[in-house]
Amino acid sequence: MNDDLGSRPLPDLKIVIPSSNTVGVLKKESGVFDGYTLFTIHKDTYLIDHCGRVIKHWVSEYERGGGFYLLEDGSLLRAGKIENPNLPYGGLGGIIERFDWDGNLLWDYTLSTPMLSQHHGLYQLPNGNILTLVATRKTSDEAIQAGRDPNNLVDDELFNEQILEIKPIGNNGGNIVWEWNAWDHLVQDFDDTKDNFGNIFDNPQLIDINFTGTTNSTGVKDWLHFNSLQYNQDFNQIILSSQKLSEIYVIDHTTTTEEAAKGFGGTYGKGGDILYRWGNPIAYDHGTETDQILYGQHFPHWIPKGFPDEEKLLIFNNGLGRDTNFSTVEIITTPLDGSNNYTYNTGIAYGPTSTDWTYANPDDPTLFYSRIVSSAQRLKNGNTLVCEGTKGKFFEIDPNGEIVWEYINPEKSDGTIVNQGEEPVSNIFRALRYSPDYPAFAGRPLIPGNPIELNFNIGNCQ
Q: Which domains does the chain have, with CATH numbers?
A: 24-441 (2.120.10.30)
Q: What is the DSSP letter of 244?
A: T
Taking CA atoms, 11 is separated from 32, 161, 230, in Å, by: 9, 46, 33
Rg of the Cα trace of the chain?
A: 22
| pLDDT tens track for 41-91 | 999 999 999 999 999 999 999 999 999 999 999 999 999 999 999 998 889
Q: Where are the alpha helices (DSSP H) in 3-117?
A: none
Distance CA 45, CA 415 (A): 11
Taking CA atoms, 53 is separated from 370, 410, 453, in Å, by: 26, 12, 10
Taking CA atoms, 405 is separated from 50, 62, 137, 344, 398, in Å, by: 8, 30, 43, 40, 9
Which of 134, 71, 60 is closest to 97 using CA atoms? 60
φ, ψ at 152 (rounded to 5°): -105, 35
Q: How confident is the model at residue 433 (pLDDT cuts 50, 70, 90)?
A: very high
Distance CA 160, CA 137 (A): 6
Taking CA atoms, 55 is separated from 46, 114, 432, in Å, by: 8, 39, 14
Distance CA 185, CA 180 (A): 10
- What percent of the chain clears pLDDT 70, i.e. is strictly above it? 96
**Collapsed DSSP state (helix, strand, coil) of residue 56:** strand
Give residues with Cβ within 8 angstroms of 213, minimum separation 6. Answer: 223, 244, 245, 246, 280, 283, 321
pTM score, whole prediction = 0.96
Q: How confident is the model at residue 4 (pLDDT cuts 50, 70, 90)?
A: very low
| pLDDT tens track for 293-309 | 999 999 999 999 999 99
Are 45 and 60 within 8 A, CB to CB?
Answer: yes
| pLDDT tens track for 24-47 | 999 999 999 999 999 999 999 999
Peptide bond into 352 cis (omega under 30): yes
Q: Hey, what long-range contacts does 10-18 have (CB within 8 A, 24 or more apart)?
A: 10/34, 10/50, 15/459, 15/460, 15/461, 15/462, 16/459, 16/460, 16/461, 17/458, 17/459, 17/461, 18/457, 18/459
Q: How confident is the model at residue 145 (pLDDT cuts 50, 70, 90)?
A: very high
Decide the pairing of beta strands 186-187 and 207-208.
parallel
User: DSSP labels for 383-417?
Assistant: -EEEEEGGGTEEEEE-TTS-EEEEEE--B-TTSPB
Are 13 and 460 within 8 A, CB to CB?
Answer: no
Q: In the predicted model, what is the mean pLDDT of residues 228-249?
A: 97
Q: Where are the alpha helices (DSSP H) in 32-165?
A: 140-145
Distance CA 91, CA 373 (A): 9
Distance CA 275, CA 297 (A): 19
pLDDT at 184 over 60: yes
- Residue 13 has a pLDDT of 60
Are 39 and 431 within 8 A, CB to CB?
Answer: yes
Q: Mean pLDDT of all residues in the chain?
A: 95
Q: In the predicted model, what is the mean pLDDT of residues 8-28?
A: 81
Q: In the predicted model, what is the mean pLDDT of residues 144-168?
A: 96
If one counts every other C-beta atom within 10 angstroms of the C-beta of residue 368, the result is: 21
- Dihedral sign for Cα atoms in the order 306, 311, 312, 313: positive
- Residue 215 has a pLDDT of 63
- Residue 358 has a pLDDT of 98
